[in-house]
Amino acid sequence: MNEEVIVSGRMNQMVDPHLHIWHWQISLYLFLGGMAAGILAIAAVYYIRGRENDYKTAVRLTPFLTPFLLVIGLLALFIDLRHKLFFWQLYTNIKLQSPMSWGAWTLMVITPVSFIWCALHIRDIFPSWDWKFKWLWALDEFFNKYKKALAWVMLIYAIILGIYTGILLSAFNARPLWNTSILGPLFLASGLSAGAAATLLLSKNEAERKQFARIDLVMIGIELFLIVHMFMGFLASTQVQIEAANLFLGGQYTMSFWIFVVALGLVIPAILEIMELGRYHIPVLVPAVLVLFGSLMLRFIIVYAGQVSRWLY
């Protein structure tokens, strides 16, 4: 028998008996950030490829969600900070090695970009709106002129944001479950999938819906592939990573992960979408909501389970 006891009764709050420093705020922040990244990336790609008119919802309408997603996400992050009065310190420092710093700055760029993108499409949505100020017109004109450049900026930062939501966690060597390079692509795919699901929900155009169901399917496929790879990687690795994987393979997070993330969030919506493409009539609401839910649960479970996984010494 091996017995390990902390005799001094260490009881550091949020650290003992196991780490629980990050809660729903971070999970939500990662989900909203990932979803916004997905939406903006898709909008930018279709705009750049000149498919704006085929996928009107994706390029013009769905992005209207992103300012809200990003602001709520930032708010969640802010709520999570314990020394709030000093939050501005995030923006007096650029720390290239800190994913948190990357995230803060990325959001600093992409949030205004998302606002501008929406502003450029306000007229599409409220055509009869009367723009009172001259300078607004000027501004509108300016950005319209450089809309392509703006789309590129948006695309790049959206991808950074999407990957960042995964990297934030995978950069932590200390938490074996997080410490896998697969988390970045996985969260990006999940974000894109959530972005596609958002358009699926909002679009009234049959062709567009079909296209986004296909995108979603591809993303789900990628996610499943990455998940399998992640476990294979863990199980072929050191003891600590095997233990990390075991959290999902018989350990305390097994049920929630396989039911909420894999079954409800990936497999079932995938089946439903295949059926939809195969001309069965499925209310579009169901797979789209399931995908969003699965994407949220993925963040929750990875954030929480990662804090349980630790080095053994």
Partner 1 sequence: MRYAMAVDTRKCVGCSDCVVACQTENNVPIGYCRDWIVEVTDGTYPQLEMEIRSERCNQCVNAPCVRCCPTGASHFADGGIVLVTQTECIGCGACIASCPYDARYPHPDGYVDKCTFCIHRIKNGMKPACVDVCPTKCLYFGDLDDPNSDVSVVLRKRKYKTLIPEAGTKPQLYFLI
Partner 2 sequence: MTTRRNFIRISAIGAGALIAGAGSYKILKTLSKPEELKNLKLDLRRTATYCEVCFWKCAGWVYKTSEGKIWKIIGNDEDQNCNGRLCPRGTGGLGMYYDEERLKTPLIRVEERGKQVFRQATWDEALEVIAGKMKEISAKYGPESMALFSHGSGSAYYTTLFKAFGSGNIAEPSYAQCRGPRDDAFTLTFGEEVYSPEITDIRDTKCLVLIGSHIGENMHNGQVQEMSDAIDKGAVIITVDPRFSTAAGKSKYWLPIKPATDIALLLAWIHEIIYNEYYDKKYVEKYCTGFDKLREYVKDFTPEWAYGITTIKPDQISSTAKEMSDAAPAVIVHPGRHVTWYGDDTQRLRAVAIINALLGSWGRRGGFYRPARFDLAPVKLPPFKAPAREWSDLFPGKYPLASLTVSNAIIDATVPENNPAYPVKGWLVNGTNLISTIPNTPNTLKAIQNLDLLVAIDTMPMEITGWADVILPECTYLERYDSLRTGPHRKPSIALRMPAAEPMYDTKPGYQIARELAVKLGLQDYFPFEKQEDLLDWQLKQAGSSLEEMQRLGVKNFERDADDLYFAEDEEVEFYTDSKKIELFSPYLESLGFDPLPRYTQHPEPPEGYYRLIYGRAPMHTFSRTANNPNLTDLMDENSVWVNPKVAKEWGLINGQYIWLKNQDDIVTDFSVKVRVTERIRWDSVYIVHGFGHKQQQMKRCFGRGVSDTQMITKVLVDPIMGGTGMRSNFVTFVTEKAGEEVAS
- The residues binding partner 1 (CB under 8 A) are 1-8, 10-16, 19, 21-22, 77, 80-87, 89-90, 92-93, 95, 97-101, 103-104, 171-175, 238, 307, 310-311, 313
Q: What type of residue is 43?
A: A
Q: Looking at beta carbons only, is 10 or 134 nearer to partner 2?
A: 10
Select 1 or 96, whichever has its Cβ closest to partner 2.
Answer: 1
| Residue 135 beta carbon to partner 2: minimum distance, rounded to whole angstroms | 46
For position 11 contacting partner 2 by CB under 8 A, the verdict is yes
User: Which amino acid is present at 61?
Assistant: L
Quote the least distance from Cβ 6 to partner 1, whole Å: 6
Residues 299 and 20: their CA atoms lie apart, in Å, by 15
Q: Compose the 54-83 pattern: x for residues touching partner 2 by CB under 8 A, - for all others.
A: ------------------------------
Closest distance to partner 2 from the beta carbon of 83 (Å)? 13
Using the minimum distance from each CB to partner 1, give the nearer residue, 92 or 128. 92
- Cα torsion 225, 228, 230, 233 to 10°: value is -120
Containing 166, the helix (H) or strand (E) segment is: helix 147-170
Query: Can the peptide bond before residue 112 be classed as cis, meaning omega within 30 degrees of 0?
Result: no
Nearer to partner 1 by Cβ, of 75 and 122: the residue is 75
Could you say which of partner 1, partner 2, none residue 19 binds, taking C-beta under 5 to 8 angstroms by partner kind? partner 1
9, 50, 127, 250: which one binds partner 2 (CB under 8 A): 9
**Positive or negative: CA dihedral 216, 99, 181, 234:** negative
Q: Pick from 160, 152, 155: which is nearest to 101 by CA?
A: 160
Closest CA to 310 of 223, 225, 246: 246
Three-state SS annotation for 77-88? HHHHCCCHHHHH
Give whichever of 29 and 31 is closer to partner 1, judged by the CB atom.
29
DSSP state of 90: G
Q: How far is the CB of 9 from partner 2 (least distance, A)?
A: 5
DSSP code, position 62: G
CB atoms closer than 10 angstroms to residue 146: 11
Which region among 5-13, 84-92, 94-102, 175-183 touches partner 2 (by CB under 8 A)? 5-13
Shortest distance, CB of residue 85 to partner 2, whole angstroms?
Answer: 15
- Which residues sit at the interface with partner 2, rule CB under 8 A? 1, 3, 7-9, 11
